[in-house]
Copies of this chain bind each other. A is one copy, B any other.
Amino acid sequence: MFFKITHKNNGSRARTGILETPHGSIETPVFMVVGTKATVKALDPEDLKKIKTQIVLANTYHLTLSPGEKLIKEKFGSMREFMSWKGPMITDSGGFQVFSLGFGMEHNVGKLGNIFPAESVFKNKTAEKQEKYAKIDENGVSFKSPIDGKKHRLTPETSIRIQEDLGADIILAFDECTSPLHDHEYTEKALERTHRWAEQCIKAHKTKQRLLGIIQGGAFEDLRKKSSKFISSLDFPGYAIGGSLGNSKKDMHDILEWCIPNLPEEKPRHLLGIGAIEDLFECVERGIDMFDCVSPTRLARSGYLFVSPTEKGSRQNKFRINIKNSANRTSAKPIDKTCDCYTCKNFSRAYLRHLFANNELLYHRLGSIHNLRFILRLMEKIRESIKKDKFTELKNKWL
């Protein structure tokens, strides 16, 4: 049994559950910590254990470029041994990075249109040059490595094969992630490809890894409904919602409403790449069980540290303080006095600001520990609240 629902919330689709993997059980709703290149930026596996990480997500695209899945498989067995992480892992399929390399760059957008700019794997390249990096055809995508310019090709079959070599417990189907600027015609064409690729992935998949299907369809109601019906008709043990989530929070919520009712109750649902505090509440409420997002560590590195409502965290300030603010220069307080992380237990805002101002490496570690533990602890509270039928109260307290 891969997934078991343990409690359903009254009055919403929120639920708690357990995902079983060969390397441990995962309580849901879960925030999956992103370790793109087989490392959660600035943290080691002991840190991950201490902050109570349940599962780490690594990226197929990045790892096939460096150091290569063959090295990992042949010399180490799997990513787990390579990075010395003993808990569960998941890999994505490379579909999102293909989008970033291709249309994401051309359109200069991310999954949420105007809300986030595209993940900039090619910060220093011009848009013209970026376009050339990825080319999609009916059978897969060809792209050049930004590291050494070598040609690579990802297809449903190669993505599954690479993910098998990387050896995560959960893997994802290879999909085409469309841009919020794509029209209905293109999005539908891409959807048909993604559906065909989903069937090819199932056929290519030979291991006991759990392969999740991915629903696409952009912000188009008919396409999202079509995709969620089609993908859920295939025998996947769980489903992910990927691709463009429109241009606003409302678009994202609408998309969930179009998809979730078509998905089987008893299988887990992963919302790819989303993880803002507000979104965690809104999407758990709409029935999402799994989240992953780079934002906690990325925000930490930029000086943004999470605070709870007791420290004046709110939807308006996105539950963040900016450690650079001069008020923090002399503050002997921790980031958040209600937080149980190593950073809050041992260091002041003034010390963190001093480290940040002096470009000290330790800052990144301490900031990342806090932001990740903050989110993981919030998920613990969310699970607790669902079990006690107090989810709405918790959500109202925060939002």
**Residues of chain A having any CB pair with chain B under 8 Å:** 37-46, 66-67, 71, 75-76, 82-84, 329-330, 332, 342, 346-348, 350-351, 353-355, 357-358, 360-362, 364-366
Contact = CB atoms under 8 A, between A and B. Distances in A.
A370 to B, nearest CB: 12
Contact of A46 (B75, B83, B342): B342
Contact of A362 (B41, B342, B347, B353): B41
A122 to B, nearest CB: 15
Q: How many copies of the shown chain assemble into the complex?
A: 2
Nearest to A297: B361
Given A44-B365, A67-B354, A361-B364, A84 B346 contact: yes
A360 B37 contact: yes
B355 A39 contact: yes
A360 B71 contact: no
A329 to B, nearest CB: 7
A362 B84 contact: no
A330 B44 contact: no
Closest 7 pairs between A and B when the two form their complex, measured CB to CB:
A42-B361, A84-B346, A67-B354, A39-B362, A75-B332, A39-B360, A37-B358
Contacts of A366: 44
B358 A361 contact: no
Most chain-B CB neighbours within 10 Å: which of A84, A351, A364? A351
Given A37-B360, A76-B332, A82-B350, 8 more contacts: A37-B354, A41-B360, A44-B342, A71-B329, A71-B350, A75-B350, A84-B351, A365-B365
Nearest to A364: B361
Contacts of A67: 329, 350, 353-354, 357
Contacts of A355: 37, 39
B365 A42 contact: yes
A40 B361 CA distance: 9
A351 B41 contact: no
Contacts of A37: 354-355, 358, 360
A87 B241 CA distance: 51
